[in-house]
Structure 1
Amino acid sequence: MHFPTTCPACGQEVPVEFADSAVHDVVCPFCGARYVVYVRKHKFEVLFDLGTKALLDGYAREAVASFAAALERFFEFYVRAYALERAAERAGDFGAALAALDATWRHVASQSERQLGMLALAYLLREGRAPDFLTPKALGSDFRNRVIHRGYLPRREEVEAYAARVFALIDRLLGELGGSAAHVELAQEEAFAAHLATLPAGVTAVFEEHPGMFRARRFGGTLKEKAVPPSKTAPPLNDAQAFARALAERGPGLELFRRR
């Protein structure tokens, strides 16, 4: 999957493939200028947006893989946010805390069950209650496994239901994290700064923030609701309604992503 950038030298649109690090080294095919695009977006966001785009384009099975991966990477995001939040409370060295966190995560990086264990403990310590969302039913594990591991070809409505479940869970936990997510934002900015310091002369740095299914919450606050008299307050949205609403409001922005 690609996203378009604008060459800072000649102004031509250049398609760039998403990089795992969110750092994209680009050579303009039109004028030869070198520049680096830093995308302020976390992996779980990119994966969920790619899943949404795949679903909209009719690639239902591929969408499931992206949604499942997005959930796993969000669980990592949550653990990192909690660990860095605690480090900030102790007024310790942020760089040292981040290095210790990275070293610790390496022990579980290839073992999803251990990652779930870290998430469960982080949630318990932060919220003071057991995570009620780690059951196979709540996570949609059976559906995910049938699609990814047993080759099941899902119907679109099944994928939409799974996407809604994943969206609602991530949205809920982002809300509970609140400002603590800023600690992971800072970690990303420090990674960008370290890369920026290595750029040779003549290479331009470009920072971008892309639209997406979770961007409204994280960069502009929650979407404001129209005032409704108390007597006419609408019931809370269920998972499917919340996903459908977010898709209608933010989905058009996903046209930024293009298959090439």
Structure 2
Amino acid sequence: MEFPTVCPACAGENRAEFTDSSVHDLTCAHCGARYCVFLRKQKFEVLFDLGTQALMDGYAREAVASFAAALERFFEFYVWAFTLERAANAEQEFGAALSGLEGTWRHVASQSERQLGMFALAYLLREGHEPDFLTARGLGTDFRNRVIHRGALPTRAEVEAYAALVFALIDRLLTELGPGAAHAELAQEQVFASHLAGLPDGVTAVFEEHPGMFRARRFGGLAPTPKLSPQPVPGQVPGQPRKPGKAVNDARAYQQALFRQALEERGALLRSFKGPPLNVPPGRE
């Protein structure tokens, strides 16, 4: 998947492929200038945005894979944020804490069930109660497995519901993390600093932040969505907070409302940002 980037020397547009490290060493196709783009965006954000773009483009099944991967990578992000936050509170040196975390994560890097277990424990230790959302229903596991492992062809409505579930869960956990998320982001900045220090003379460093579904929520652009009953119930004033007994239906409606609100605000930017590849005739991108 590519994204557009502007050459700092001639202002010509180039396209770069997303990388796992968020570091992109580029050579301008127009003037030959060398530059390096450091993309301040977490992997779960990139994956969720790719899923959103696939959904908007009509690739429902492909979108499910990206949304599912985004959730798994967010659980990893949460573990890193919690661990580094805890180390900071204990006044442990950041480099030592990061090294220990990286070494530990290598033991579970290829085992998603163990990663989920690490997340569950991290959540318990940080929030003081069990992660009661870690159920097949709460994670949309049955739907995910039917699509990814059994080749089911989902409808757009089913994928939108799954995307809304994943979005609402990540949004909730990001809100609970609050400033704690910055500790995991600092790990990315350290990767950037290491690469930046090794850049040869004549290479320009460019730091970018891209529009995305979680950017507005995290940095103040998207207002919170209140949890209201989707349908009036007898004796309830319109707009009144939900009444007991409607929790399941309200949760689904809230997830979908939250996702749609973000999609309305950020979807157009994502589509505009994606754009067609350079030098491709219209209708063939």
TM range (shorter): over 0.9
Paired residue for 1:187? 187
The DSSP-based 3-state class of the residue aligned with 1:5 is strand
Label 1:130 to 1:220 Cα distance change in 2 as closer, same or farther (>3 A). same
Q: Which residue of 2 aligns with 1:31?
A: 31
> Residue type of the partner of 2:150?
R
Counterpart in 2 of 1:94? 94
C-alpha spacing 1:200/1:218, structure 2 compared with 1 (3 Å): same
2:192 matches 1:175: no
Letter in 2 for 1:147: V
| Counterpart code for 1:154 | P
Percent identity, aligned pairs only, is: 70
Instruction: Specify the SS of the correspondent of 1:238.
Output: helix
Q: Does 1:242 align with 2:255?
A: no
TM-score (normalised: structure 2): 0.86
Counterparts of 2:94 and 2:212, CA distance in 1: 29
Task: Please list, as runs of the form range in 1=range in 2, the aligned pairs for 1:173-252 lying within 5 A after superposition.
Answer: 173-220=173-220, 223=223, 233=239, 235=241, 238-252=254-268
Deviations 1:140-187 (A, max 9, x none): 111111111111111100000000000000000001101100101111
Seen in structure 2, the aligned counterparts of structure 1 residues 114 and 50 have a Cα distance that, compared at 3 Å, is same
- Partners of 2:275 and 2:80 lie apart in 1 by 30
The DSSP-based 3-state class of the residue aligned with 1:51 is helix
Aligned residue for 1:257?
274
Q: Which amino acid aligns with 2:137?
A: K
Structure 2 counterpart SS, 1:220: coil
1:162 corresponds in structure 2 to 162
Q: Distance in 2 between matches of 1:109 and 1:175?
A: 26
Structure 2 residues without counterparts, runs of 5 or longer: 227-236, 243-252, 278-285
CA distance in 1, matches of 2:103, 2:217: 30
Distance 1:152 1:25 in 2: 39
Residue type matched to 1:166 in 2?
Answer: V
1:48 aligned partner: 48
1:63 maps onto 2:63 in alignment: yes
1:144 maps to which residue? 144
Aligned-residue Cα RMSD (Å) equals: 1.7
Write out the 4+ residue segments of structure 1 that deviate beyond 6 Å after TM superposition: none
Structure 1: 5+ residue stretches without partners: none
Distance 2:275 2:133 in 1: 33
C-alpha distance in 1 between matches for 2:207 and 2:15:
16
For 2:240 and 2:161, locate their aligned partners in 1 and report how far apart those are by CA, in whole Å: 22
Aligned CA distance change for structure 1 residues 259 and 87 (closer, same or farther; 3 Å) = farther
Checking the alignment, whether the CA contact within 8 Å between 2:80 and 2:101 is kept in structure 1 is yes
Contact 1:12 1:30 in 2 (8 A): yes
CA distance in 1: counterparts of 2:240 and 2:204, whole angstroms: 49
- Does residue 1:10 correspond to 2:30, yes or no? no
1-structure distance, mates of 2:200, 2:220: 34
SS state at 2:144 partner: helix
Contact between 2:225 and 2:258, CA under 8 Å: does it hold in 1? no
* 2:222 and 2:262 in contact (8 A); partners too: no
- The answer as to whether partners of 2:35 and 2:204 remain within 8 angstroms in 1 is yes
Distance 1:225 1:152 in 2: 32
- Deviation of 1:64 after TM superposition, in Å, equals 0.2
TM-superposed CA distance for 1:258, in Å, is 4.1
Residue by residue, what CA displacement relative to the aligned partner does 1:44-66 show, whole Å, maximum 9, x if unpaired?
Answer: 00000000000000000000000
Q: How big is each residue's C-alpha offset from its partner over 1:49-95, in whole Å with a ceiling of 9 and x where there is no partner? A: 00000000000000000000000000000000000010000111001
- Bigger RCO (CA 8 Å, 6+ sep): 1
CA distance in 1: counterparts of 2:67 and 2:161, whole angstroms: 11
TM-score under structure 1 normalisation? 0.94
Secondary structure of 1:211's match? Answer: coil
Structure exhibiting the larger radius of gyration computed from Cα positions: 2
